Structure 1
């Protein structure tokens, strides 16, 4: 497998992972409604920073620690609590009086999009597990070409993220005329409830990992 094949394979893997509904997609939709299309690449940038740190860690042999039950359990519980906090903010806004402003100015309350990209990514235990298993295996194959191979793998992966989340944000922002205050509240409510479900699942799974560690 040459460098071009590594790049393309990583990009395809990135698309398969990005299109699966999850907290990052939910936050992208929410932020795009409030801030416009630019929220997509900003969230992807925060996501890419965390992935860069993890790719470097795996490349230098630290990826195995992610598979420890105590690590997975801690990430699951802390990440779930963080998502509960985000869901509370979204649901609270869905019940409040909403004045829509799609001017693109960064005046919305809460975290900035790139910070949201970092925190939502880092709070997802299953993102870590993917990188500790399928991601780490693919990265190690790319590492046969040294650091250049790892760079090609990383670039292919994050380009897929940028394309997908930019497309989602652009699509949502273009449909802003369809989002009356009532529709906007409904979308926020759906996003918030979805995050509540994910948060509960993360906490439940994290507790399971910790219980297996103690056993």
Structure 2
């Protein structure tokens, strides 16, 4: 069973630090709203991935390849929207008499947290990469470990995977949050713009991936 745990840790850590829409969103939301917002984005995978795993094991192999391509197109468009919104926040910050109001609209903390979590869940649900992983490598690993080690094998694999997938993103959120005090005035605006460009680039990559496969 140690092998299953090591496999889960290896795949989880790699997925957690690989640049993608979720990692970009962790950085952007932490810069804009702080460590708690970054944590909510990091935890979104725990909400969205269970149905993805079930679909992968039971249904993914029966779906036409174009289903994942259309998902990539939808995900790319949504990530592009998030990038544009982040760029707009940077613009408002630069042209606002009170930059703190530009970054922190007058909404309750609960409403802001709900918005952050909803966006993170939708981004992950529209990201084809979890479907591709669990529909190919992940599902086979779960089934093989179940056949060789019983229920304990898949459980340990999932525990190792999500501990390091979520943990690595929490670590990124913490690191970005700790460095926020260095970002003041123009430097903070540039950091927001770089985050926006990161999201836009990732959105374009997802969109291009889906469109090229559909053509």
For this structure pair, what is the TM-score category when the shorter chain's length is used for normalisation?
Answer: 0.7 to 0.9
Q: Which runs of 5+ in 1 are unaligned?
A: none
What is aligned with 1:31? Answer: 29
Query: Is the deviation greater in 146-155 or in 106-115?
Result: 106-115
- Report the equivalent of 2:163: 159
Distance 1:112 1:143, change over 3 A: farther
1:1-215 alignment to 2 at 5 Å?
2=1, 4-59=2-57, 61-65=58-62, 68-97=64-93, 98-99=99-100, 106=109, 112-144=115-147, 145-211=149-215
Structure 1 range deviating more: 185-194 or 129-138: 129-138
Aligned length: 204
Q: CA RMSD in A?
A: 2.3
Provide closer, same or farther for how the CA distance between residues 65 and 50 of structure 1 changes in structure 2, counting only shifts above 3 A: farther
Q: 1:109 Cα shift?
A: 6.1
Q: 2:96 maps to what in 1? A: none
Aligned-pair distance for 1:118?
Answer: 1.2
- The structure that is helix-richer by fraction is 2
In structure 1, C-alpha distance between the alignment counterparts of 2:116 and 2:132, rounded to whole Å: 24
Deviation at 1:186, TM superposition (A): 1.0
Give me the whole-angstrom Cα distance separating, in 1, the residues matched to 2:153 and 2:38.
27
Distance 1:41 1:22, change over 3 A: same
Question: Would the alpha carbon gap of residues 114 and 153 (structure 1) be closer, same or farther in structure 2, given more than 3 Å must change?
Answer: farther
Structure 2, unmatched stretches of 5+, are 94-98
Tell me which moved more, 163-172 or 30-39: 30-39
Contact 2:49 2:130 in 1 (8 A): no
Deviation per CA, 1:18-37: give whole Å up to 9, x if none.
Answer: 11111111111111122322
SS in structure 2 of the partner of residue 150 of structure 1: helix
Asked whether the 8 Å contact 1:35–1:106 carries over to 2, the reply is: no
Deviations 1:66-93 (A, max 9, x none): 6x32112210111111111111101111
User: How far off its partner does 1:57 sit?
Assistant: 2.6
Question: What is the distance in 2 between the residues matched to 1:181 and 1:114?
Answer: 27
